[in-house]
Amino acid sequence: MDGLKGFISRKRDIIAFIMLLLISLIALAAQSWSVDGISKKYGYMMISSIQKGFSQAGLGFRDAFHSIGELREIRREYEQLQDQLAEYRSLERKLVDLRNENAQLKSLLSFSGELDHESIPARIIAKEPGSLFTGFTIDKGSADGIEMNSAVISFSEGFTCLVGKIVAVSRRTSKILPLTDHSCYVAARMQESRYEGLINGNGNISDTVIMEYVKKQAKTEIDFADLVITSGLRSIYPPDLYIGRVAEIKAPEWETSLTLEVTPLIDFSRLEYVFILEKGEK
Amino acid sequence: MTPKKTLLIYIFLITLVAVIQTNLLLPLKILGGRPDYTLLLIVFFSHQLGSFKGKFIGFYSGLLMDVLGLAPLGFHSFLYTVVGHFFGKTKGKVYIDILTLPLLLALLASVMKIIVSFVLTVIFDQSRWTAVFSVSTLLEVGLNILMSPVLFAVLKLFRLVNEHETHMV
């Protein structure tokens, strides 16, 4: 017994090292890269509120900092405004006209209103810092009606674009797996020629995603900058959401299908707000 | 400061940095990339606390990173445990000077991160291994090296470190 104790005492450093590595490996093997493991889920629920708190604190600091500058600016502007008041009175009439025009344009555009699904707006509060994984954390969770595997969209260049899907939900925050991630697959089709394929992310290493398994006969019908949309086939993503434009067409002799490089319509590095589609149509 | 207090402060600092690295520090891009602040902290703290505590700090911060991000549970905890263990071995053997040692330790830690990440991705998810050797990874290595003297100097300013504990070989 003393021998064993002595052995453990002597080798406690290496035993602890092996134990910690084993725990990590078992966790890795158990979920085999799944992002919704039970232990991770509960850990995430605890930590996410701290993460959200920091995000809000950051916004608070930023606002306070801006406020100091704004106060100086307001004082200077106040004097100018006295002189410009008369001019603004005439502009007021124009403003009313602009408001009416704006309301009309909004009703014409009203992107989210045109969607077949109800949507929940959310702000991105955190992003994956490293280059190996890609993911965002948003400020809405199960308390706001967010569900697992809901499709996430955003609007860019006048298109309703696919961002990714919800892969983890806590009460106040959720995680998004963007379509640029290696583990994200989306059933897609060419908007014009209607040929189908499978979109797979390329990670942070490239600005493009890959569309595979496109029939080789499509080569003559696909051109650069053609739009790629979701097909909606046996997928959690609704059909006709825009993904991106064809940037490169690869057709090796030995392959039975085409591989397309697609540039997403959304600039993921500058993405701030997203909409989470609720399951079931309106 | 007692070793227990020092350890608690290190744990607090590493938690703080791991959390703000995912949001507040995101806009602080250097040359279009971001250094791995958590990795640098683990290297520094392990060097101060030794291999035994270093690997636990590494394991804890890795677990935190796994929970906060989309990495599978166990990925960063494995990675940072290895870093904490090996860089803890430098305690009492090397003295962290202003420039040379921080640069060298950051380079070694970054290379170790790449190797361990590569091994884990090859075993568990082959689709990601190309990302391990991407341009952004190389940029991260460069930024880790660049930031290490600054970060280590700031950490020394906290005076948590007992300089008498470390000495040149």
pLDDT tens-place string over residues A27-54: 888 876 555 556 666 677 777 777 777 7
Considering A23-27, A53-57, A60-64, A243-247, the range whose residues carry the highest mean pLDDT is A243-247
- Averaged pLDDT for residues A196-222: 86
In CATH terms, the superfamily for domain A185-269 is: Rod shape-determining protein MreC, domain 2 (2.40.10.350)
Would you tell me how many other CB atoms lie within 10 Å of the CB of residue A15?
13
Range of weakest confidence among A76-85, A258-267, B102-111, B144-153: A76-85
- Averaged pLDDT for residues A203-230: 87
Q: What six digits make up the tokens of A7? A: 């052995």
Count CB pairs under 8 A between chains A and B.
156
User: Which B residues 81-140 touch A at CB under 8 Å?
Assistant: 81-82, 85, 117, 120-121, 124-125, 127-128, 130-132, 134-137, 140
Name the closest residue on chain B to residue A13, using Cα atoms: B52
Considering A36-45, A50-59, B89-98, the range whose residues carry the highest mean pLDDT is B89-98
**pLDDT attached to residue A1:** 57
CA separation for the pair A166, A148 (Å, rounded): 5
pLDDT top residue among A268 and B2: A268
Mean pLDDT of chain A: 83
> Are residues B131 and A132, on separate chains, in Cβ contact within 8 Å?
yes
> Are residues A203 and B56, on separate chains, in Cβ contact within 8 Å?
no
pLDDT top residue among B136 and A213: A213
> Are residues B67 and A28, on separate chains, in Cβ contact within 8 Å?
no
> Are residues B63 and A43, on separate chains, in Cβ contact within 8 Å?
yes
Give B67's contacts in chain A (Cβ within 8 Å).
40, 43-44, 46-47
Give B70's contacts in chain A (Cβ within 8 Å).
35, 128, 133-135, 167-168, 175, 177, 181
User: Out of 3.30.960, 1.10.10, 1.10.1760, 3.30.450, which CATH number does the structure's domain B3-161 have?
Assistant: 1.10.1760
Name the closest residue on chain B to residue A48, using Cα atoms: B68
> Are residues B77 and A20, on separate chains, in Cβ contact within 8 Å?
yes
In Å, how far is B112's CA from the nearest CA of chain A? 15
Give B135's contacts in chain A (Cβ within 8 Å).
205
Give B64's contacts in chain A (Cβ within 8 Å).
47
Residue A249 near residue A262 (C-beta atoms within 8 A) = no
Give B34's contacts in chain A (Cβ within 8 Å).
129
Query: Over 60: is that where the pLDDT of B150 sits?
Result: yes
Residue B153 near residue A225 (C-beta atoms within 8 A) = no
User: How far are the Cα atoms of A19, A55, B26, B56 from residue B165, in angstroms, in the given order?
Assistant: 28, 38, 35, 20
> Counting beta carbons within 10 angstroms of the beta carbon of residue A55, is it exposed (0 to 12), middle (13 to 18) or buried (19 or more)?
buried
Name the closest residue on chain B to residue A27, using Cα atoms: B74
- pLDDT band at residue A71 under the 50/70/90 scheme: confident
**pLDDT attached to residue A40:** 67
**pLDDT attached to residue A282:** 60
pLDDT tens-place string over residues A90-115: 777 777 877 776 765 565 455 556 66
Rounded to the nearest 5 degrees, what angle is found at the Cα of A81, between the Cα atoms of A75 and A84? 160
Residue indicated by tokens 């014009």 = A192
> Are residues B74 and A21, on separate chains, in Cβ contact within 8 Å?
no
Report residue A164: phi and psi, to 5°.
165, -145
- Averaged pLDDT for residues A1-7: 75
**pLDDT attached to residue B169:** 34
- Averaged pLDDT for residues A204-213: 81
CA separation for the pair A189, A200 (Å, rounded): 13
Query: Over 90: is that where the pLDDT of A64 sits?
Result: no
Query: Over 50: is that where the pLDDT of B166 sits?
Result: no
The strand pairing partners of A155, in sequence order, are A160
Q: DSSP state, A267?
A: -
User: Which B residues 31-50 touch A at CB under 8 Å?
Assistant: 34, 36
Q: Where are the domains of chain B?
A: 3-161
**pLDDT attached to residue B167:** 43
Q: Where are the domains of chain A?
A: 39-109, 185-269
- Averaged pLDDT for residues B118-139: 83
In Å, how far is B131's CA from the nearest CA of chain A? 6
CA separation for the pair A271, A259 (Å, rounded): 27
Q: DSSP state, B127?
A: G
> Are residues B78 and A16, on separate chains, in Cβ contact within 8 Å?
no
pLDDT tens-place string over residues B51-78: 999 999 999 999 999 988 888 889 999 9
Preferred mutation among A8, A28, A40, A136 to probe B, highest tally of B CBs within 10 A: A28
Query: Over 90: is that where the pLDDT of A59 sits?
Result: no
Name the closest residue on chain A to residue B130, using Cα atoms: A205
Name the closest residue on chain A to residue B114, using Cα atoms: A132
pLDDT tens-place string over residues A125-154: 988 887 788 889 999 999 999 999 999 998
**pLDDT attached to residue B168:** 40
Comparing CB atoms, the residue among B21, B121, B130 nearest residue A129 is B21
Residue B161 near residue B48 (C-beta atoms within 8 A) = yes
